[in-house]
Copies of this chain bind each other. A is one copy, B any other.
Amino acid sequence: MNTARVEAFADGVFAIAATLLILNVDTQIADDVPDLGEKLLHIWPSYLAYAVSFVTIGIMWVNHHTVMSQLEKVDRRFLVATVGLLMCIAFVPFPTRLVAENIRGDNAEPAALAYGFTMVATAIMFNITWFYASRGKRLLRTDADPAVVSGLSRSYLPGPWIYLAATLIAFASPVASVVCFLTIALFYVVESSIFGSNDPAA
């Protein structure tokens, strides 16, 4: 199988997972709401959660293509790892909803933990996928850009630890933990806005 077919399937999962996020907002509004205006303002965490998860999945999609652009070919092990990675990404809408609905109540801690551990698992799968492909240049293109390759390795390695730290904060303060997730997403957007115009990996 060539890399184009893997990208097509992955693009589908990324696009669907991101688009399904709106269902989380949708279920917040019952059929007969007495005061819709007030309700629409009240569920602001759902909009924020929608935006954060959409941007996070969008950034992961950009990263996934950066990885694929450096590969010459794929083998079955890589495909199995990719399925595992996509399984994590397709899971994201579920904890997103949990956080949106519970961050202001008594269940904020388990909601933040569910979101955080999903992100940790996703970051681990990104590392497995990338290092399986790049270790010993196993699947890399012969003309793979060394700067991009080492840049990816450098940026992926701390991912699970950063998300784990943000997750564990939930035991002390779920709100602080969620602010960290928000900050991580914002960081990628801001970083891309500042450095993105001459990024060779894009």
A87 touches B51 (CB 8 A): yes
Q: Interface digits, A3-28 against B, CB 8 Å rule (1 contact, 0 not)?
A: 00101110111111111111101110
Query: Which A167-202 residues have C-beta < 8 A from chain B?
Result: 189, 192-193, 195-199, 201-202
A76 within 8 A of B: yes
> How large, as a class, is the contact surface on chain A?
35 or more
Roughly how many angstroms separate A14 CA and B16 CA in the complex, as a whole number?
10
Q: Interface digits, A69-84 against B, CB 8 Å rule (1 contact, 0 not)?
A: 1000011110110011
| Other contacts beyond A12-B14, A75-B197: 20, CB < 8 A | A8-B11, A12-B16, A13-B19, A16-B16, A19-B20, A19-B90, A23-B23, A25-B94, A36-B110, A37-B107, A54-B83, A55-B83, A58-B86, A75-B198, A76-B196, A76-B201, A77-B193, A77-B196, A79-B192, A138-B197
9 tightest A-B contacts by CB? Answer: A12-B15, A76-B196, A58-B83, A36-B107, A37-B110, A77-B196, A16-B19, A76-B202, A76-B192
A: residues with CB less than 8 A from B are: 1, 5, 7-9, 11-23, 25-27, 29, 31, 33, 35-37, 40, 50-51, 54-55, 58-59, 61-62, 65-66, 69, 74-77, 79-80, 83-84, 86-87, 90-91, 93-94, 97-98, 101-102, 107, 109-111, 113-114, 138, 189, 192-193, 195-199, 201-202
